[in-house]
Amino acid sequence: MATAKASWYASELRRELGLRNRRWARGRAHVESYGNSPVIVYAPEGGRHGNFFDAAYAAIAARPEWMRRFGKIHAQGRALPKAERRWRELDSSMSSDALLMNVFCTPGVSEAPAVRRTLGVDGEDTLVFGWRARAPLTGGRSDRTEVDMRWGSLLVEAKLTEGDFQTCKAGVVEGYRDFDVVFERELLPRVELAVKRRREATEFPEDYSQEFEGAGEVDGMILSGAEARPSLVDLTYGLKPVPFSEPGSSVPFTGASHSVGGEAGYAGYQLIRNVLAAYAEGCSFCVVHDERRPDLREAWFQVMLAVKSAEMRVRLKVMTWQELAGSLPEGLRGFLDWKYGIVRAGRVASPVKELSEFD
- Residue 353 reports pLDDT greater than 70: yes
| Rounded Cα gap, residues 287 and 300, in angstroms | 8
Provide mean pLDDT across the span 282-286: 97
Cite the DSSP H helix spans in the chain.
2-24, 54-61, 64-67, 96-104, 113-119, 170-173, 179-182, 269-281, 294-305, 310-313, 321-325, 330-340
pLDDT value for 122: 87
Residue pair 88/72 in contact by the 8 Å Cβ criterion: yes
pLDDT value for 2: 58
Residue 153 neighbours by CB under 8 Å, 6+ apart: 121, 125, 281, 282, 283, 284
Assign residue 261 a region (left: φ > 0; alpha: ψ between -120 and 50; beta: otherwise).
Answer: left
Reduced DSSP (H G I as helix, E B as strand, rest coil) percent helix, strand, coil of the chain, to 5: 35, 20, 45
- Residue 112 reports pLDDT greater than 80: yes
| Number of neighbours of residue 115 by Cβ within 10 angstroms | 19
Provide mean pLDDT across the span 103-130: 94
Question: What contacts 24+ positions apart, CB below 8 Å, involve 110-114?
Answer: 110/151, 112/327, 112/328, 114/326, 114/327
Cα 125 from chain centroid? Answer: 23
Spell out the domain ranges in the chain: 2-358
- Residue 36 reports pLDDT greater than 90: no
List, in sequence order, every residue forming a beta bridge with 266; answer none if it has no partner: 168, 190
Model confidence pLDDT, tens digit, residues 301-316: 999 999 999 999 999 9
Say what angle helices 96-104 and 54-61 make with each other, to 10 degrees. 90
Q: Residue type for 274, please?
A: N
| Rounded Cα gap, residues 12 and 55, in angstroms | 29
Q: Which of 207, 160, 162, 166 is nearest to 37 (CA)?
A: 207
**Average pLDDT value over all residues in the chain:** 83
pLDDT value for 354: 58
Model confidence pLDDT, tens digit, residues 48-64: 999 999 999 999 999 99
| Rounded Cα gap, residues 334 and 347, in angstroms | 12
Residue pair 13/292 in contact by the 8 Å Cβ criterion: yes
Give the C-alpha distances (Å, rounded to integers) separating 106 from 97, 124, 326, 334.
14, 16, 15, 13
List, in sequence order, every residue forming a beta bridge with 316; answer none if it has no partner: 285
Cα 132 from chain centroid? Answer: 15
Percentage, residues of the chain above pLDDT 70: 79
Q: pLDDT category, 345, cuts 50, 70, 90?
A: confident
pLDDT value for 194: 78
- Residue 287 reports pLDDT greater than 70: yes
**pTM confidence score:** 0.82
- Residue 170 reports pLDDT greater than 50: yes
| Number of neighbours of residue 27 by Cβ within 10 angstroms | 7
Provide mean pLDDT across the span 74-96: 92
Q: pLDDT category, 144, cuts 50, 70, 90?
A: confident
List, in sequence order, every residue forming a beta bridge with 150; answer none if it has no partner: 128, 155
Percentage, residues of the chain above pLDDT 90: 70
Model confidence pLDDT, tens digit, residues 174-228: 999 999 999 999 999 999 997 555 544 433 334 444 433 434 444 333 333 333 4
Provide mean pLDDT across the span 113-142: 92
Model confidence pLDDT, tens digit, residues 224-258: 333 343 333 233 334 444 333 333 333 333 333 33
pLDDT value for 78: 85
